Amino acid sequence: MKAADARTMTVDQLDDEVLKLKKEQFNLRFQRATGQLENTARVREVRRDIARIITIARQKRAGVMPKVTAEAPKTERRQVKRTAKRRAPVKSRSKPSLKSRAKAKRK
C-alpha cells in the first residue's frame, strides 16, 4: 500500500488495515517456519506497510500532516548533503631495524 492511498483513509479504516496486516504477518511467520513460504519478500512488505500505516494514523490523530507529499516535485524534496570532514593522513610507524635495536641495547 502506498502512503498516498493510506492518507485518504480515515483513522478507523487505518486501524482496521493494521489489524488485517498483522494477521497476514502472523500467517507469513508460520509459513516461513514450516517452509511453505514462497514469496519471502512479502514479509518485508507487510512489516513496512504496518509501520507506514501506524505512522500516518498517528499523524492524523495528532493533527499533524507532513509538509512534503508524494505529489511534490523533487526540487521541493531536496535533501541536504553532509560534507565529510577530511582527516589528516596518519604517519605509519615502521619497526626499527635490527641494527638500530642492537645499538639501543648497547647504550
Q: What single string gives the DSSP state of each residue in 6-28? A: HHTS-HHHHHHHHHHHHHHHHHH
Enter the C-alpha cell of residue 56. Answer: 500516518
Each residue's pLDDT tens digit, 49-101: 999 999 999 999 998 877 655 565 555 555 555 556 677 777 666 776 777 77
Give me the amino acid identity at 29. Answer: R
Instruction: Tell me the three state secondary structure of residue 36.
Output: coil
CB 11 within 8 Å of CB 56: no
For the entire predicted model, the pTM comes to 0.60
∠ CA 36-15-50, nearest 5°, is 45
Map out the domains of the chain with their CATH numbers: 3-62 (1.10.287.310)
Q: Which residue has the higher pLDDT, 29 or 103?
A: 29
